[in-house]
Amino acid sequence: MYIKRAILSAVSFAKRATLPLGSLSSSHIHTSACSRKAEDRKEMLASLPAKDEGTVGEKSVDIDTLINRKAKFFPDATLATQLFNGMPFNELPVCNIRVSPNNTIISVTDYKGVPRLIRSCGIEGFKNTRKGTNIAAQATAVSISAKAIELGWKTIRVKVRGLGPGRMSAIKGLQMGGLNIVSITDNTQVSWNPPRPRKQRSL
């Protein structure tokens, strides 16, 4: 197929050069095909699919493209001393959010970890199943952020622990309450060799 194409191109070249087709000897065409051989091979290799490297992940590692595009989203070694609203990062107060399926507890501590404020959906007046909703979490977050602003803490770091309906909405509530969130950290305790957990719930 590639040789054929080479011949065709030789013919078209001949036409362009206004040479009569009959004057081309077969040997002429042959040499032309030879000279194009290397080029054609390159073309063919380029059009072939990439070389198979076995199972995905066998020889190469998939790295999330996030790291290249969004490097500024991730902390580095200089973050601890970086100033946010006139305060170094590691002296900003911390807002700990403990999320569970049935409740959301938010506490604000200073940078040493001494708790100053604590609110939960239960304290906020939501009882029973209503505690474990995103609306309750948001209301709690708004009320605690008002208290934190009273203390003069406007810029905070957020630590989230656990999974539940309040995870997202509590963070959103803090922002709605007027706090300036600098960073979000996940503090969920996960173990790959935990002690034996409780038995499965019977359904």
Partner 1 sequence: MRHVQFLARTVLVQNNNVEEACRMLNRVLGKEEILDQFRRTRFYEKPYQVRRRVNFEKCKAIYNEDMNRKIQFVLRKNRVEPFPGCS
Of the residues 18, 64, 78, 86, which one makes contact with partner 1 according to CB under 8 A: 64
Give the residue with the Cβ less far from partner 1, 21 or 190. 190
Question: Measured between alpha carbons, how far is 127 from 129 in angstroms, rounded to an integer?
Answer: 6
Site residues (CB under 8 A) for partner 1, limited to 83-142: 89-90
Give the residue with the Cβ less far from partner 1, 4 or 201. 201
With contact defined as beta carbons under 8 Å apart, do 152 and 92 qualify? Answer: no
Question: Measured between alpha carbons, how far is 119 from 117 in angstroms, rounded to an integer?
Answer: 7
In the chain the first and final C-alpha atoms are separated, in Å, by: 66
Torsion of CA 127, 132, 135, 139, to 10 degrees: 60
Sequence-distant (6+) residues with CB within 8 A of 115 are: 107, 108, 109
Range in contact with partner 1 (rule: CB under 8 A) among 5-13, 14-22, 34-42, 63-71: 63-71
Range in contact with partner 1 (rule: CB under 8 A) among 19-27, 124-132, 140-148, 182-190: 182-190
Q: By CB under 8 A, is residue 183 in contact with partner 1?
A: yes
Number of residues that bind partner 1 (CB under 8 A): 41
Site residues (CB under 8 A) for partner 1, limited to 27-56: 47, 49, 55-56
Range in contact with partner 1 (rule: CB under 8 A) among 67-75, 114-122, 131-139, 142-150: 67-75
Q: CA 134, 98, 83 angle in degrees (round to 5)?
A: 105
Minimum CB–partner distance for residue 148 and partner 1 (Å):
16
